[in-house]
Amino acid sequence: MAMLPLAQLYARDVPDLRPPTGADLLQVLWCPFDHPPMSFMPRTVVFWRSEAAVTDILTTPPEPPVVQFDGYLPEPCLLAPEQITEYPNPLELSKDVRAQLGDWSMWQAAGGAVDSRYASYPEEFYSADLSVAPGWKVGGWAPWGYTDPRPQSCPACDSAMVPLLTIPTFEWDDSTRSWIPDDRGDREHTSPSSVRTRPEGQAVIDFFRAQGIEAHDRGRVPRDARVAPLGTDTVPRQPTAVQIASGQRQQLYICPTSPEHPHTELMQ
């Protein structure tokens, strides 16, 4: 069965891609069928390549004769890479920290641009605006919820793996409007990434730092690079038309010590 091209990312557009030595280009392909009993998702293949060595460029990607679901045939999109900072999923935080996130006075003291409509549900501000951005992205934190947090270890060397690429069904929605990409549709896809300033305020950053939690933590990329697809679709939530199960996300993990070790993937 022919593999379908899914994503092509250049290190020059996504500085945190961290390719292995000699490579500057990530190509992800997938087999557009579920793979039961282990996986009810397409199976991905990851290629690290050197742009200079890629000479066999096809102008039209091969169309597969058949895909299992329409949602496994991605709509071609340009990418608008944008660097963002996101905090962990609340499920990865201790009970103590979660309790403090529910304390409105902490957010007020932080002096950030926290919308007062969150006063009754301060933890919603964290979930919606600070933790785990929606959409396609490189690196970042895992969007747990479909399962409980589950550390991923490298099948070859047992190192703790880190998220490489998140393939979501949906981009932002009404509850996550602060994550709408900057300058949507208004940017050269090759322009340098902009850096998003989050609304949390320095006191909140310090609060997380005191808990040992940072976007820089645990060997993850210093900033998480979202690769927002610029679709022509009138439905901005699904520019790629990709659908994983009933609206889940497929997340690829990579070995940080040896990127050439086999990657793993899970549904979230």
What type of residue is 210? A
Separation of alpha carbons 116 and 114, rounded Å: 6
# binding residues, Zn ion (CB under 5 A):
10
CB of 190 to Zn ion, least distance (A): 32
Rounded to a whole number of angstroms, the minimum distance from the CB of residue 253 to Zn ion is 10
Nearer to Zn ion, 185 or 219 (CB): 219
Q: How many alpha carbons lie under 13 Å from residue 20 in its C-beta half-sphere?
A: 12
Residue 191, token pair as written in the block: 């322009």
258 touches Zn ion (CB under 5 A): yes
CB of 143 to Zn ion, least distance (A): 23
Instruction: Write down the least CB distance from residue 1 to Zn ion, Å.
Output: 6
**Cα(127)–Cα(133) distance, rounded to whole angstroms?**
9
* 255 forms part of the interface with Zn ion (CB under 5 A): yes
**Binders in 20-39 for Zn ion, by CB under 5 A:** 31, 33
**Kind and range of the H or E run holding 124:** helix 122-125
Which helix H or strand E contains 109, and what residues bound it? Answer: helix 104-110
Q: Is 66 among the residues that bind Zn ion (CB under 5 A)?
A: no
Q: Which of 156, 222, 232, 247 binds Zn ion (CB under 5 A)?
A: 156
Question: Binding of Zn ion at residue 154 (CB under 5 A)?
Answer: yes
Q: How far is the CB of 18 from Zn ion (least distance, A)?
A: 14
Taking CB under 5 A as the rule, does residue 175 contact Zn ion?
no
Contact 154, 161 (CB under 8 A): yes
Binder of Zn ion out of 157, 190, 192, 219 (CB under 5 A): 157
What span, in angstroms and rounded, lies between the C-alpha atoms of 240 and 182? Answer: 18
User: Whose CA is closest to 125, among 113, 140, 139, 137?
Assistant: 113
> What residues line the site for Zn ion (CB under 5 A)?
31, 33, 43, 154, 156-157, 159, 255, 258, 261
